[in-house]
Amino acid sequence: MKSILLTLLLFTFTTLSFSQEVSYGVRGGVNISNLDFDPDPTFTNQHRNGFAFGGFVDYGITESFSAYVELQYSGEGAKADEIRADYLQMPILARFSLGDKFTLGVGPMLSLKTWKNQDAFSTFAFSGVGGIEYMINDELFVDARLHYGFGNILNEDTAGNLEAQNTTLQFGFGIRI
């Protein structure tokens, strides 16, 4: 067992030490998000326009593949005050280069509710995220992402039999430092 762990640890460090590039940066964007309820709610459910900002690390593993980790704040949910959801999120993306300018990314995202008075929402949420990035030059980029919630984000104690999934379309811009 020790030899397997040692081999795995050595492989990980070797892979990371031969990385093509490690880059850091900041990213901001606008969100268009909404909650999909089951069963349909008796109230009006309009989408929410919000914003997101954060920082990232992109670990180049090969010239065409990288692992991307981001920590961001994101305002999501729906338009009504009682069903807004603000999160601290960590998307972890496997990214694939499509030439010099375009990159596709896909992976999981963990979210943590940020405001104490949002009792209607669960503390944690799990989503899938996918997107595309376009490099304007060596430092500046624009991107588009879709976050799709995999589970109920409502607190079962306060929501009863009502369930909701969060879906967010995010348009971003950023700079690699």
DSSP string, 8-25: HHHHHHHHHHT-S-EEEE
Evaluate whether residue 98 is within a structural domain: yes
Evaluate whether residue 45 is within a structural domain: yes
Domain with 117 in it: what CATH number? Answer: 2.40.160.20
pLDDT of residue 120: 64
pLDDT tens track of the chain, all 177 residues? 555 545 545 555 555 555 568 999 999 999 999 888 787 766 677 888 999 999 999 999 998 999 999 999 999 888 877 778 889 999 999 999 999 999 999 999 999 888 656 666 677 889 999 999 999 999 999 999 999 999 887 776 666 677 888 899 999 999 999
pTM greater than 0.75 (yes/no): yes
Evaluate whether residue 159 is within a structural domain: yes
Evaluate whether residue 160 is within a structural domain: yes
* Six-digit token string for 25: 């940066």
Evaluate whether residue 3 is within a structural domain: no
Evaluate whether residue 13 is within a structural domain: no
| C-beta of residue 109 within 8 angstroms of C-beta of residue 89 | yes
Which pairs with CB-CB distance under 8 Å and at least 24 residues apart come from 106-115?
106/130, 106/131, 107/68, 109/147, 111/74, 111/87, 112/87, 112/88, 113/85, 113/86, 113/87, 114/73, 114/86, 114/87, 114/88, 115/86
pLDDT of residue 82: 74
Range(s) of the domain holding residue 40: 21-176
Evaluate whether residue 1 is within a structural domain: no
* Count: domains in the chain: 1
Evaluate whether residue 95 is within a structural domain: yes
